[in-house]
């Protein structure tokens, strides 16, 4: 790999001039041509590391997501990537695995790699943005918010929970349970509050076991649904607060020999890779990709120097009731 010095020597100019050519500063026509010729001849590519050391920043943005195997987050990642790409930034994807320790590690890496900024779907409330913040690097929280005064892009989760539950009610179900995620995680908390609000207001039947907490994954949803079916007065419908738990719930229903139409299911999120006609499931579709592009746009504005006070953008989910 050729360096700027070799290019300079070949072109008969100083390294400074080569740098100026590559950074679009004023250089005379002829030297410019000489430099470019020399550069192509040596197939010169500026060393990003050296540049970064000098400039104290890079064209890399870190994206921290809690579960890379969840299609919601990969769709979000696509959004971030597409937007970043347009501005010449590259995205480093980091899988925190819902683990605050891993999250911390990656934030440290983002700092010591002098990445230009961070987009973060926090694994927990006690995320520590101190190290990033004191470097002055912008951070955008996505999907979930943080206690720090940073930009955020989220979904109106309460409304999504309400919409999901109301849709089931409107279909005639009157014993509506809820499979929520781990307690303490904001998104699932709000969606579950939406459910409770509707259930309370409409005075549907209820039962101690109608609220199940599960992990955010398929197995959690399956176990929760099995628990619901084992109640003496089982529900006739259920709201799951994320996509993967809905998959688990459907698996449990299938295993119990219950056909989709007999049992109402509403999911906050989208059922991934559905293989049967999904007409019988209410999906409250989250704008995953849009969350990503929005977060990336906000981050890029900050990187470009925007210093207005932190904003929080709230996107709406789109209800897709089955055509009956």
Residue 9 beta carbon to DNA: minimum distance, rounded to whole angstroms: 11
Q: Which stretch binds its own copies (CB under 8 A): 45-53, 152-160, 164-172, 305-313?
A: 45-53
Does 17 interact with DNA (rule: CB under 7 A)? yes
Q: Which is nearer to its own copies, 25 or 50 (CB)?
A: 50
H helices of the chain, in order, are 4-11, 15-22, 29-41, 48-55, 71-86, 100-112, 130-134, 157-170, 186-201, 218-229, 243-255, 288-303
Q: Which is nearer to DNA, 2 or 93 (CB)?
A: 2
Query: Which of its own copies, DNA, none binds 232 (CB below 5-8 Å, type-dependent)?
Result: none
> Which of the residues 245 through 304 are near its own copies (CB under 8 A)?
247, 250-251, 254-255, 271-277
> Do 102 and 121 contact (CB within 8 A), yes or no?
no
Contact string 26-45 vs DNA (x = CB under 7 A): xxx-xx------------xx
Query: Which of its own copies, DNA, none binds 114 (CB below 5-8 Å, type-dependent)?
Result: its own copies
Q: Which of 117, 149, 142, 153 is nearest to 132 (CA)?
A: 117
Q: Which is nearer to its own copies, 94 or 180 (CB)?
A: 94
Which residues share a beta bridge with 313?
153
Query: Which of DNA, its own copies, none binds 23 (CB below 5-8 Å, type-dependent)?
Result: DNA
Does 100 interact with its own copies (rule: CB under 8 A)? no
Q: Which stretch binds its own copies (CB under 8 A): 19-27, 85-93, 168-176, 312-320?
A: 85-93
Does 54 interact with DNA (rule: CB under 7 A)? yes
> Do 58 and 47 contact (CB within 8 A), yes or no?
no
Query: Which of its own copies, DNA, none binds 31 (CB below 5-8 Å, type-dependent)?
Result: DNA
Does 149 interact with its own copies (rule: CB under 8 A)? no
Does 109 interact with DNA (rule: CB under 7 A)? no
Instruction: Write out the H or E segment, with its range, that includes residue 90.
Output: strand 90-95
Sheet strands side by side (includes 176-180): 211-213, 176-180, 237-240, 264-268, 281-285, 318-320
> Do 180 and 214 contact (CB within 8 A), yes or no?
yes
Does 121 interact with its own copies (rule: CB under 8 A)? no
> Do 81 and 119 contact (CB within 8 A), yes or no?
no
Query: Which of its own copies, DNA, none binds 15 (CB below 5-8 Å, type-dependent)?
Result: DNA
Q: Which stretch binds its own copies (CB under 8 A): 42-50, 169-177, 199-207, 227-235?
A: 42-50
> Do 207 and 220 contact (CB within 8 A), yes or no?
no
Residue 237 beta carbon to its own copies: minimum distance, rounded to whole angstroms: 16
Q: Long-range CB contacts (< 8 A, 24+ apart) of 298-307?
A: 298/140, 298/151, 298/153, 299/61, 299/117, 299/118, 299/119, 299/138, 299/139, 299/140, 299/151, 300/83, 300/84, 300/87, 300/89, 300/117, 302/117, 302/138, 302/140, 302/151, 303/61, 303/116, 303/117, 303/138
Number of residues that bind its own copies (CB under 8 A): 47
- The three-class DSSP label of residue 266 is strand
Does 71 interact with its own copies (rule: CB under 8 A)? yes
Write out the residues near its own copies by the rule CB under 8 A: 1, 45-50, 52-53, 60, 68-69, 71, 74-75, 77-78, 81, 90, 92-95, 106, 108-109, 111-114, 131, 134-135, 218, 244, 247, 250-251, 254-255, 271-277
């Amino acid at each position: 790999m050729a360096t700027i010095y070799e290019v300079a020597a070949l072109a008969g100019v100083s390294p400074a001039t080569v740098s100026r050519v590559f950074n679009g500063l004023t250089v005379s026509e002829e030297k410019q041509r000489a430099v470019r010729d020399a550069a192509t001849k040596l197939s010169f590519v500026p060393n990003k590391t050296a540049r970064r050391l000098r400039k104290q920043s890079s064209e890399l943005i870190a994206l921290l997501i809690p579960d890379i195997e969840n299609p919601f987050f990969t769709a979000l990642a696509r959004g971030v990537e597409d937007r970043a790409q347009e501005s010449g930034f590259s995205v480093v994807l980091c899988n925190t695995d819902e683990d605050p320790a891993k999250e911390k590690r990656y934030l440290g890496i983002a700092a010591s790699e002098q990445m230009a900024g961070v987009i973060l779907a926090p694994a927990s409330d006690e995320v520590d943005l101190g190290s990033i913040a004191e470097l002055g690097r912008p951070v955008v929280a996505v999907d979930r918010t943080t206690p720090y005064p940073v930009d955020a892009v989220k979904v109106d989760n309460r409304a999504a929970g309400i919409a999901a539950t109301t849709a089931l009610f409107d279909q005639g179900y009157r014993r509506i349970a809820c499979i929520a995620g781990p307690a303490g995680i904001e998104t699932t908390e709000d969606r579950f509050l939406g459910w409770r609000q509707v259930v309370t207001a409409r005075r549907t039947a209820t039962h101690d076991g109608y609220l199940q907490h599960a992990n955010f994954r398929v197995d959690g949803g399956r176990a929760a649904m099995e628990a619901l079916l084992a109640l003496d007065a089982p529900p006739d419908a259920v709201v799951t607060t994320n996509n993967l738990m809905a998959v688990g719930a459907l698996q449990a229903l299938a295993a119990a020999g219950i056909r989709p139409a007999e049992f109402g299911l509403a999911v906050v999120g989208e059922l991934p890779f559905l293989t049967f006609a999904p007409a019988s499931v209410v999906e409250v579709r989250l704008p995953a990709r849009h969350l990503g592009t929005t977060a990336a746009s906000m981050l890029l504005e900050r990187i470009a120097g925007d210093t207005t006070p932190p904003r929080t953008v709230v996107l709406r989910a789109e209800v897709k009731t089955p055509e009956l």
